[in-house]
Structure 1
Amino acid sequence: MKHLSIFILILLIFSCGVNSSSESRSSYADFTISMDTVVVDSGDEILMAATTHLSHYFNDNFSRLYFWDSRSHSTEIIDLDELKLLEKRPFEKEGPNGIVRFNNGLNILSNDKIGFSEWEKFSIANSKGEVVERIKLNEDWIIKDLKEKQNLRADIFLENERVIFNKVADLLHVSSKILKLDFRQQQVEWIALPEFEKRDNFTLEFKPDDGSFYAVIGPTLNLTKFKNQLIFTTDALNAIYKYDLETNSLTFHSISNTLTANEKSGVYKNLVTTQGEFGENMDKINEEVTFSDLFWDDKNDVFYRFTSFNLPRVAKEKLKSRVFISIINKDFEVIGEKEITEIVGQVPVAQFVKDGLIYCYINIDDELGYVRMKINN
């Protein structure tokens, strides 16, 4: 499965317009998009990061991609500058250096260390695969305010400050409250995101009467570190919370698009007992708007966000979607937007922005590739 890095230039240029109020304050009143495709050189290895866009983690400057392969119990590390696999770093399954097979995510730390979000602990391993620290997440001072069956998912670890921001989850859903843990002071802080409680309206619980199966699916809640701030997003709402790490203050920001709705709004049956009900409700929810994360472009000082919604399925035809891109300034104002359905063909799986290019995951003949989009203004 050896591929050399491929550079396929596809110049797809089109004009994009926005309303006059944006036009007066933005150079993105009219812009074009160019795209190319690149493929990662996996050498003689089978690259499992190519099989899914989930569980991809990056260092701060997006020069490295880390992917946990639970089958081989190793982390694939990819050089995003050279577009090649660097190593598959093995880990032990048990013992003092043991890492659990299924974890809740990685944190990429200094000196090539990796933090693993595990059940009731956060484990830090060095470049040799040795566990150098385990931080317990079930100490009394931590769990005293948790409800029964709630658990913590360590999401962002601030290494120098010894602070972890955790999602709080139970069997049904992820809470709209974040738990901040300060391990130096042994202090907890609950960060409430009340607007994100709307996510619960679009959570589906599938529980057949015979008890043979159980599933829950619902909108996301994501945390992203942006400079000295954290950005909280959900795919159900065109709005964000910003947490300032210096002042420990939280602010809410609505983002207003003119080409699409700005939130899901339908009324659904949250508990269903048949496969038919589950599929019908899921289809209807996906026909409402869905929002990507915000992707910061430090070269052009703007965020990008993709908005999409599925079209009603016609017989056995392939599922179709409409796709839009928004350009958003630091004040979370939309300064450019356009439908790009005819250009991209399907909803882009955007992951990060590097050197002014939006990197969107794609599987090319079982190899990891990226469609790179450039906004030309």
Structure 2
Amino acid sequence: MKNILFVIFILFIFSCENTVKEEVKDYSKITLTMDTVMVDSGDEIINLKYKLYTSTMSEDNKFLYLWNNGETTLDKINLEELRLEKKIQFESEGPNGVGRYVGWLSFLNENEILLSGFPSLMLFDMEGNKTREYPIIEKTDFKEVNYFERNPILLENGEVIYGYLGNRFNNTMTFVKSDFKEKKLTKIELPGISELPDYRILLETENMGSLAIPEKFVKKVGDRLIISSTAYSTFYVLDLKNDSVFQVSYTPKLTPKEKKGGYPEKVESLERFRELMAEIDTEINFQSPVWDEQNRKFYRFSFEALPSEINEGPVFLSADQRPISKVYLSVFNESFNLLGETLLDGLKNVPNTVFVRDGQIWSYVNVDDELGFVRMTINYE
């Protein structure tokens, strides 16, 4: 009996000690320990011309799938073993053709993946065989329904897609649930979204037309979707069990909570368009929250770019392609309560294609045209 009581007492001490440690963590003085790992591509080449822009992850973060438009191939990369496991050849034309260009892809399961042509959606197996082509739903309440924004979420054996659907130029992008089995399209209201500083800047000249909008993210974490934007800290959580949505609003102490807004909706000069985009990028930019299963926390990076010269380079530069001024990290518990935030003094590059494995934050990096990842371990004082 004495031994039993002693064991219980020891367990109680350890339980209290762990609780105290959690409470005294100083989230304002986080530091990162980093190392870089490389993917072994064997005798093959992993094309990083467009970074990991056209890629997707398996839900368990064990595999990265990277599409190569030039070769019409899908690279399956094993992140546990850090090697290119398979290069899957697809066809451009014919019954199994993907078309001339794939804009994005979305993982369904280990045997199927969704590819987006323009505007068609196609489901393929992992041998490059087309198993399904999705029809365009014509009867809707929307003015025009043309395409899904990149990387929507595919569920229920491919019968349901959640994501932004519409037309950027006609300003009809709306978050929806598209049920192909029931042939039903449901608009999902995001409470208070109209009050947030979204922007849409149309460049219209005699020779060209371009449109700039904030990047929007949709991430699946368990039975929830997290919907966020680069333009503001507020994000939304959708419960997939009942399609209910709630807003997560918090006020960062280190940065503004959103971009200032009030930008013109239309410009007629390429130079003015470049000026506006450079100005917008110097304001705060938010990435999507990412989930750490091991530590039961969400991490979210945000950053500010330095003012940069207006040059004759690409019309569109993402904010992280500009010189970076400051990078911040915010930490949330699993109920989306903000635990703290910190300025990462030693980090001058914005983490790219961020995910978490085994309690470490991973970020894509190009090392002499080879695929690598920086792994970051969080240290608390």
Aligned partner of 1:166 among 144, 163, 168: 163
Aligned to 2:336: 332
User: What does the per-residue CA deviation read over 1:112-164, in whole Å, with 9 as the maximum and x for residues that have no partner?
Assistant: 2211133354321112211122221x144xx4323136444471110347211
SS of aligned partner of 2:255: coil
My pick for the range that moved more, 164-173 or 366-375, is 164-173
CA shift, 1:336, in A, is 2.2
- Are the equivalent residues in 1 in contact too, given 2:152–2:161 (CA < 8 A)? yes
Q: Say if 1:93 and 1:296 are closer, same or farther in 2 by CA, change over 3 A.
A: same
My pick for the range that moved more, 354-363 or 111-120, is 111-120
SS of aligned partner of 1:349: coil
User: What does the per-residue CA deviation read over 1:269-325, in whole Å, with 9 as the maximum and x for residues that have no partner?
Assistant: 221111221121111111111000101000101111111112334899x83421111
Query: Superposition pairs for residues 190-209 of structure 1, below 5 Å?
Result: 190-193=187-190, 195-197=192-194, 201-208=198-205
Aligned to 1:283: 278
- Are the equivalent residues in 2 in contact too, given 1:201–1:267 (CA < 8 A)? no
Aligned to 2:356: 353
Question: Which structure has the greater CA radius of gyration?
Answer: 2
The amino acid of 2:98's aligned partner reads: I
Aligned to 2:109: 110
My pick for the range that moved more, 197-206 or 305-314, is 197-206
Q: In 1, distance between residues paired with 2:268 and 2:126?
A: 47
CA shift, 1:50, in A, is 6.4
Instruction: Give unpaired runs (5+ residues) of structure 2.
Output: 1-20, 312-321
CA shift, 1:24, in A, is 9.1
Q: In 1, distance between residues paired with 2:302 and 2:148?
A: 30
CA shift, 1:197, in A, is 4.0
Please report the TM-score for the alignment, with normalisation by the length of structure 1.
0.85
- Are the equivalent residues in 2 in contact too, given 1:50–1:363 (CA < 8 A)? no
Q: Say if 1:195 and 1:48 are closer, same or farther in 2 by CA, change over 3 A.
A: farther
Instruction: Give unpaired runs (5+ residues) of structure 1.
Output: 1-22
CA shift, 1:48, in A, is 0.9
Aligned to 1:132: 131
The amino acid of 1:83's aligned partner reads: L
- Are the equivalent residues in 1 in contact too, given 2:144–2:172 (CA < 8 A)? no
Identical pairs, percent: 31
Query: Superposition pairs for residues 311-322 of structure 1, below 5 Å?
Result: 311-313=306-308, 319-322=323-326
The amino acid of 1:177's aligned partner reads: T
Q: In 1, distance between residues paired with 2:373 and 2:48?
A: 12
CA shift, 1:180, in A, is 0.8
Q: In 1, distance between residues paired with 2:82 and 2:184?
A: 42
Q: 2:260 aligned with 1:265, yes or no?
A: yes
Aligned partner of 1:145 among 125, 141, 144: 141
- Are the equivalent residues in 1 in contact too, given 2:197–2:258 (CA < 8 A)? no
The amino acid of 1:321's aligned partner reads: S
Please report the TM-score for the alignment, with normalisation by the length of structure 2.
0.84
Q: In 2, distance between residues paired with 1:24 and 1:62?
A: 26
SS of aligned partner of 1:281: helix
Q: Say if 1:67 and 1:350 are closer, same or farther in 2 by CA, change over 3 A.
A: closer
Q: Say if 1:39 and 1:353 are closer, same or farther in 2 by CA, change over 3 A.
A: same
SS of aligned partner of 1:360: strand
Aligned to 1:188: 185
User: What does the per-residue CA deviation read over 1:178-210, in whole Å, with 9 as the maximum and x for residues that have no partner?
Assistant: 1212233332210123544467753221112xx
CA shift, 1:169, in A, is 2.9
